[in-house]
Amino acid sequence: MRAVVIREFGSPEGLEVVDLPVPVPAPGQVRITTEAIGVGGVDAVIRRGTLAAYGFRAGHLLGSEVAGSVTAVGEGVDASWTGRRVWAFTGLSGGYAEQAVASVADILPLPDGLTGADAVTLGGSGVVAHFALDRARLAPGEAVLVRGAAGSIGITAVQLAVRGGAGAVAVTTSSPERGARLRELGATHVLDRSGAGGPDTPSGFDVVLDVVAGPQLPLFLDMLNPNGRYMALGVVGGPPPADFGTRLTAAFRKSLSFTTLSSDTVPASAQQTVRSSQFTDAAHGTLRTVVHEVLPLDQAARAHREMDAGRVFGRVVLVP
């Protein structure tokens, strides 16, 4: 089967299309013939080598989520899965391929009316947005800022914050055009990447959801209201400065909270319940997914160049 691996960490040119043996589902797994493959921000972070400390090696097969049809089941898996269209989480590898394997606990049937492209745009990121707002205890009337809102996590978070009755839903983004698109999804205030906005920008936020981190993270900590909650969800801008905690303690009298959230710590069953409900909403059009572009699997490097150039709004999807 064709697959895309990291030959060399760094630029998108380090991605290579290779032939690999078709994977055999282990006990408890299924094999899926892919019809859509999500290209996530985490793939770019792994490819750049930002997560080198986690032991990724050359030859790593990228990709965390796919949609397609179950074509084989491993020992102990109900054979009735065969032939069903599903979304699947493949972990931190295995998705950029014509065939992928996943644990049966990490697959979910696709409802009628949901395309594979929509499923891989929403499947992994939607639950992060949901549990981030849930753990931040966003209350009706509160002001939330979504930093890095133009990605799949942010796009869902904006819509869920509106649905949850937030008093203000501010976003950071890199251009007025992208800001206008986020307003269409429910954002009420648009800030630039440094956090500067118009005169009506709220003076502070009760919740900040941040997929960016990077050197500017402390600026956004300073924007929290007393009792504010900061949810660090990703590192698309790199790691935060090592001493950012001093900013938190300097603001001791504001009683701020700083929390990281990885969906790895959310029980799989809770994720599946939320994902299933989000898939139904997306199939009915009450939760919007944004597919930036659909490209052939062979053009994974182009997808990564688009991400690195900051041209992606939503998610790029690969098709084998």
**Whose Cβ is closer to ligand NAP: residue 82's or residue 263's?**
263
**Whose Cβ is closer to ligand NAP: residue 99's or residue 173's?**
173
| Residue 109 to residue 246: CA distance in whole angstroms | 46
Tally Cβ neighbours within 10 Å of residue 68.
24
Q: Which of 264, 269, 270, 287 is nearest to 64 (CA)?
A: 264
**Whose Cβ is closer to ligand NAP: residue 41's or residue 202's?**
41
Residues that bind ligand NAP (CB under 6 A): 40-42, 45, 124-125, 128, 148, 150-154, 173-174, 178, 193, 211-212, 214, 233-237, 261-263, 310, 312
* Residue recorded with tokens 């994977």: 23
Q: How far is the CB of 224 from ligand NAP (least distance, A)?
A: 18
Q: How far is the CB of 103 from ligand NAP (least distance, A)?
A: 17
**Whose Cβ is closer to ligand NAP: residue 124's or residue 228's?**
124
Report yes or no: 71 and 101 within 8 Å, Cβ to Cβ: no
**Whose Cβ is closer to ligand NAP: residue 4's or residue 209's?**
209
Q: Which two tokens stand for residue 215?
A: 């050197």
Q: How far is the CB of 247 from ligand NAP (least distance, A)?
A: 18
Helices and strands (H and E) in the chain: how many: 8, 16
| Residue 166 to residue 258: CA distance in whole angstroms | 20
The SS3 assignment for 71 reads strand
Report yes or no: 101 and 23 within 8 Å, Cβ to Cβ: yes
| Residue 66 to residue 69: CA distance in whole angstroms | 10
Q: How far is the CB of 205 from ligand NAP (least distance, A)?
A: 17
Q: How far is the CB of 10 from ligand NAP (least distance, A)?
A: 17
Report yes or no: 258 and 284 within 8 Å, Cβ to Cβ: no
Q: Where are the alpha helices (DSSP H) in the chain?
A: 41-48, 116-135, 152-163, 176-184, 217-221, 244-250, 268-284, 300-308
Q: How far is the CB of 112 from ligand NAP (least distance, A)?
A: 27
Q: How far is the CB of 40 from ligand NAP (least distance, A)?
A: 5
Q: Which of 158, 165, 31, 43 is nearest to 102 (CA)?
A: 31
End-to-end, the C-alpha distance of the chain in Å comes to 10
**Whose Cβ is closer to ligand NAP: residue 125's or residue 299's?**
125
**Whose Cβ is closer to ligand NAP: residue 2's or residue 193's?**
193
**Whose Cβ is closer to ligand NAP: residue 66's or residue 73's?**
66
**Whose Cβ is closer to ligand NAP: residue 194's or residue 255's?**
194
Q: For residue 77, with 0-12 CB atoms within 10 Å meaning exposed, 13-18 middle and 19 or more buried, which class applies? A: buried
Q: How far is the CB of 21 from ligand NAP (least distance, A)?
A: 28
Report yes or no: 130 and 154 within 8 Å, Cβ to Cβ: no
| Residue 283 to residue 288: CA distance in whole angstroms | 9
Q: How far is the CB of 50 from ligand NAP (least distance, A)?
A: 8
